[in-house]
Amino acid sequence: MTSEAPKITIDFLIGMLKQVIEENPSRDRGKVADATWGPETLLEDTGFNSYDFVEIIFKLEDHFSIEIDYNANNNINDVKTIGQLCDEIAKLLAKKQVA
């Protein structure tokens, strides 16, 4: 049986990023309001940190009722922009298409 892979859009991801950053406030997150949110936006300008990556994956797993093969020690954490993050998450989600 083959199942359709869940799809993620940049707008959906940006919404999730904003939510994660709002839910996990810290002193270094003052730049959130000023950032221009789009594919080219540098994650560091949004206040995004490595733990947020885990939180995003956790939310996606809950949202799509799937398990994502992700380890926080992989180089995937080296992505710099929101667009790159979206691409990497899309790759993880695409793995779910395997029968």
Kindly list the residues in this chain that would bind other proteins in the complex (CB under 8 A): 26-28, 49-51, 54, 57-58, 70-74, 77
Closer of 11 and 51 to other proteins (Cβ): 51
Q: How far apart are CA 56 and CA 59, in angstroms?
A: 5
Helix (H, G, I), strand (E, B) or coil at 33: helix
Chain length of the chain:
99
Give the shortest CB-93-to-other proteins separation in angstroms: 15
Give the shortest CB-13-to-other proteins separation in angstroms: 18
Closer of 45 and 55 to other proteins (Cβ): 55
| Sign of the Cα pseudo-torsion (46, 23, 68, 94, in order) | negative
Closer of 40 and 61 to other proteins (Cβ): 61
Give the shortest CB-69-to-other proteins separation in angstroms: 10
- CA-CA distances (angstroms) from residue 76 to 22, 26, 67, 92? 23, 23, 17, 10
